Amino acid sequence: MKALWAPWRMEYILSDQKDGDCIFCPGNDRSQDEVRLILHVGSLTAVLMNRFPYINGHLLVAPVRHLSDLTHLSEEETLDILDTVRRAIRVLKKVVNPEGFNVGLNLGKAAGAGMEEHIHFHIVPRWNGDTNFMTVFGEVRVIPEHIEETYGRLLPHFGELKLNSGGK
């Protein structure tokens, strides 16, 4: 029998046991944005990279307020989060050139929410043939680019996002 090693997976498995800080709450200190993989923080919505991505460029878009349900968003937050999802897709099209996207929101643990305390949208770029036997049989994902490299390629475009949205 052959072994497929995925040592990054242990960090994910143990992540539930970490302190109570919410990964989606950006706070006011921007000095840790790169370490936390935060690409954009507006007045109502934040964009960060998924530390355990399905594929390169897997982004998460969340309201700045710590909310557990879509129905708790204000009308302004609802519009801003969807606009931010739309803008993030534009950035991904420009930088990683995907052939499609999966965009979704998991509400509640039964629906697959890994972090149900703070709602967030997933934006997953897709390419034809990007799922292979490694994921299907080995429960291992092959990510062809280091996450810090992808972050560096995306970050300048999210600076433009801030300028184009009036700082929101």
Active-site amino acid positions: 120
CA distance 86 to 140: 29
Question: What's the CA dihedral at 141, 147, 122, 83 to 10 degrees?
Answer: -150
> Comparing C-alpha atoms, which of 34, 96, 35, 89 is closest to residue 61?
89
Sheet bearing 38-41, strands edge to edge: 38-41, 45-49, 59-63, 121-126, 100-105
The residue length of the chain stands at: 168
3-state helix, strand, coil in the chain (%, to 5): 40, 15, 45
Q: How many CB atoms lie within 10 A of CB 110?
A: 8
